Structure 1
Amino acid sequence: MKMNIYFKGLVVSLLLIAGMFTSCEDQPDKFELTGGLPQVSYIRMPYLAQSDSLIVEASLKSVICLVGDNLTSIKELYFNDQKAQLNTSYITSHTMIVQIPDNIPEEVSDKIYMVTASQDTVEYAFHVIVPKPMIASMSCEYATAGSEVTLYGNYFIDDPNVPLTVILPDGKQLTTFTKLTNSTITFRMPECDTEGSIRVASIYGESTSTFHYLDSRGLMFDFDGKTGLGNHGWHEREIKTDETSLTGNFVQLGDGTSKMSVDGGWNDGVFAFEYWCGSWDSPQNVTSGDGIALHNLVDFTDFANMALKFEMYIPTSNPWSAGAMQICFAGYDKVTLSGNPIEGFDGVVAGANAKVFNGEDGLGAYGRALYRPWMDTGSYDTGDKWVTVTVPISNFTLDRLGAAAESVPSSPGDFASLTFFVVGGGVNGTECTPIIKIDNIRAVPNK
């Protein structure tokens, strides 16, 4: 019986092996590099719906289709001086689908070069469009004069004949940089007291940043009196100024001696900043002064296309390596200062509480952002300098343990109060005594 089973298994294995050899030999469409020279008749887009659209140029990373004869003779393909990646699954004698490399050419000839196995080269005229500069972000949107700052993006091309230029909101033009790559521009910030967008111009065009330098749009907390808002809850978080100050006062989470446990243990007396709207009046005042509902200060109508931003400073002496910075907006139904009625609001008004963070009454499943940059390397600091943190409001989708929230902010009314609390998050780190300085908390367009 055992021999029969073994014999049957052996037969099946032999049949499978034979089938594999047969299938390998029986592939009439299998790619084979051919001899001779390729000929390109025209180039089109690769999709059937666009097959009648002939093109003579395309942007970096575009996928195009070469049409001609004997295209299987092409061993290597270059756009200007940049080699393309060929996939033989998309090459036939008459068509070749290929993606233009993302790398910017160093020498522009406006040619495609097709190299055969015998090292013959056939040229075809084709223009690769290099996009104008793309500005994504700035290392610190409140960078002070003399500090080093970096713009991040792409297509930062410094041409000898048309130098790359950074244009500040006050009109100053910078062409000298401490470091320059295709995706970063680093320079010393000159004096500039003007708020506004930053522009970058290259030989391929000019772009304007969506972010503002010295951004005051949607400013909620500057701690210097511009909005008048600060602590407004159970705790009087320390508002201070020192030699590291960016624009004056800032709020500080952690005191440099209080420990954050590996699981981000609860310590709201040191690691939480609360702004709970409302007052002790009845009805509560949420329309003006200290206690104003944030949506009455900042327009959250288009919150889906907004981001929460703030500047942050974490010294190298006190890095952060445990706990999540849970950032949570809340409506009147989640928290207010007193719980007294609010004129014009017919729902249940919640009083002062931490239920969103401790999980009571199911509020721990309400959406918030969890910011924990230490997870990438195990520990995080900002190198003794201020950086801008950007958290899209579309990211306010997690519960207190980092799972998907059961409900999320869904209307402007959900942006009345705001809490920053470094606690939990569902991921363990290492014990630390972090100092986290925060300034210029604002809600701004992210597009």
Structure 2
Amino acid sequence: MTSGYLGTQIAIIGENLSKVNKVYFNDQKAKLNPNFVTDNTIIVNIPSGIPSEKQDLIKLYTNNDSCYYTFETKVPTPIAKTMTCEYVKDGDIAQIQGLYFINEENSPLKVTFEGGFEAEIINSDMNNISVRVPVGAKPGPLTIESVYGPARSLFCFRDNNKQTSTTHILMDNEDTSWNTWGLSAFGNGGGPSDRYLVLEGQLASWAWPANALQIYYNNPVRQSIVPEGQSEIADLALRFEVYSHEWHDVPLLLWFSNLVDTHDVDGNQAQAHWKPYLNNGVKSNYVTDGWVTITIPLTDFKYSKDESDDKRAITKLSDLVDLHAMFFGPADGESNVKLWIDNVRIVKYK
């Protein structure tokens, strides 16, 4: 055996091993159990800590001596899980979150956007990378490469249904033919991709919101947003970009339907109740630092209007025809909301 992954248990076979009192894998010290150390065998787990330098050595120490053996400690390739905002303009800073972002001096971390555009890394640690989006970057997954190899991101930058077959854009707000009821308002300038929804006004407990505080995506093609057989419901999520300037109270209710010209919060559809202002039972003003990407798994759609029923579920892809949203529910009093939304889509997120 000449290699092993972090956390793997291995057996070191040899002679005169009983006096070994320290074992290192590269610069990471392993925990020795005396019950698993004999004259001919040491059973030990490769430490889970990531080496600060790729040396590919096991180091054995006694009180008087030491010896080194070639052994590759395998570290996974980078796992890029999310971006703070998937829609970032050329030249702006994008934030990437994940695992195993190892940046060695002799083998620097690399981030490459679709089209072969390598990004300037502003800063990084093991779980975060800040990069400047290169001019000309194209939609698609990123490639993150460390000394342990390259890997594609789990998300797609500027995700759209033209380059990702499992992504289905409902509203990019450039075309608003879906807004047949005229419920929503729109803004221009400062959005991740030009035009965006503007939800701005006053909220109160169980108060019917103004038209501009509601969304009704009345699907003009009258068929499921996601084709049958393409994905499992458990693997899908509603995703969109948000810029929250102010939001203190009252949940945003979201639900899908397959009803013609019907916008009914009292129906039997499974709803998601988004409450980012509520953390551990405490309400505070939800304000984002610019645009951020929000992901709501379709399995989170399970409530009735007043949450007296939390066992509902989306069970059929054929129900994903129209999308509805409105601020509605209990509140501590009156409050203002100013929330911008763009690039509403259904994605395969796992």
Same fold (TM over 0.5): yes
- Structure 1: how far apart are the matches of 2:142 and 2:72? 30
From the superposition, tell whether residues 352 and 132 of structure 1 become closer, same or farther in structure 2 (CA, over 3 Å): closer
Residue 106 (structure 1) aligned with residue 49 (structure 2): no
C-alpha offsets along residues 318-349 of structure 1, whole Å, 9 cap, x if unaligned? Answer: 2x2323333212234xxx31xxxxxxxxxxxx
Residue 299 (structure 1) aligned with residue 245 (structure 2): no
- Structure 1: how far apart are the matches of 2:99 and 2:45? 19
- Structure 1: how far apart are the matches of 2:17 and 2:228? 56
Write the mapping of 1:208-219 to structure 2, written as runs, cut at 5 A.
208-217=152-161, 218-219=168-169
Residue 387 (structure 1) aligned with residue 266 (structure 2): no
Give 1:59's aligned residue: 5
- Structure 2: how far apart are the matches of 1:400 and 1:97? 57
Give yes or no for contact 1:303–1:393 (8 Å, CA) kept in 2: no
Give 2:122's aligned residue: 178
Give yes or no for contact 2:5–2:73 (8 Å, CA) kept in 1: yes
Give yes or no for contact 1:329–1:417 (8 Å, CA) kept in 2: yes
Write the mapping of 1:267-416 to structure 2, written as runs, cut at 5 A.
267-269=208-210, 270-277=212-219, 290=220, 292-293=221-222, 295=224, 297-299=225-227, 301=229, 302-304=231-233, 305-315=235-245, 318=246, 320-332=247-259, 336-337=260-261, 351-356=262-267, 363=268, 366-376=269-279, 378-383=284-289, 385-400=290-305, 405-416=310-321
Give 1:3's aligned residue: none
Give 1:128's aligned residue: 73
Residue 207 (structure 1) aligned with residue 151 (structure 2): yes
Residue 152 (structure 1) aligned with residue 97 (structure 2): yes
Q: Residue type matched to 2:227 in 1?
A: D
Residue 240 (structure 1) aligned with residue 167 (structure 2): no
Give yes or no for contact 1:79–1:101 (8 Å, CA) kept in 2: yes
Kindly indicate which of the two structures has a greater share of residues assigned to helix: 1
C-alpha offsets along residues 356-390 of structure 1, whole Å, 9 cap, x if unaligned? Answer: 4xxxxxx2xx533333233348332111x111112
1:98, CA displacement in angstroms? Answer: 5.2
Give yes or no for contact 1:276–1:352 (8 Å, CA) kept in 2: no
From the superposition, tell whether residues 230 and 303 of structure 1 become closer, same or farther in structure 2 (CA, over 3 Å): farther
Bigger-Rg structure (1/2): 1
From the superposition, tell whether residues 248 and 113 of structure 1 become closer, same or farther in structure 2 (CA, over 3 Å): same
SS at match of 1:313: strand
Further displaced range: 183-192 or 366-375: 366-375
Question: What TM-score results when the alignment is normalised by the length of structure 1?
Answer: 0.65
SS at match of 1:397: coil
Partner residue of 1:249 out of 167, 170, 195: 195
From the superposition, tell whether residues 100 and 392 of structure 1 become closer, same or farther in structure 2 (CA, over 3 Å): farther
Q: Which runs of 5+ in 1 are unaligned?
A: 1-54, 278-289, 338-350, 357-362
Q: How many residues align?
A: 335
Q: Which runs of 5+ in 2 are unaligned?
A: 162-167
The two structures, once aligned, show a CA RMSD in angstroms of 3.3
From the superposition, tell whether residues 100 and 352 of structure 1 become closer, same or farther in structure 2 (CA, over 3 Å): same
Kindly indicate which of the two structures has a greater share of residues assigned to strand: 2
Question: What TM-score results when the alignment is normalised by the length of structure 2?
Answer: 0.81
From the superposition, tell whether residues 113 and 222 of structure 1 become closer, same or farther in structure 2 (CA, over 3 Å): same
- Structure 1: how far apart are the matches of 2:82 and 2:177? 27
Give 1:195's aligned residue: 139
Give yes or no for contact 2:249–2:332 (8 Å, CA) kept in 1: yes
Q: Residue type matched to 1:181 in 2?
A: D
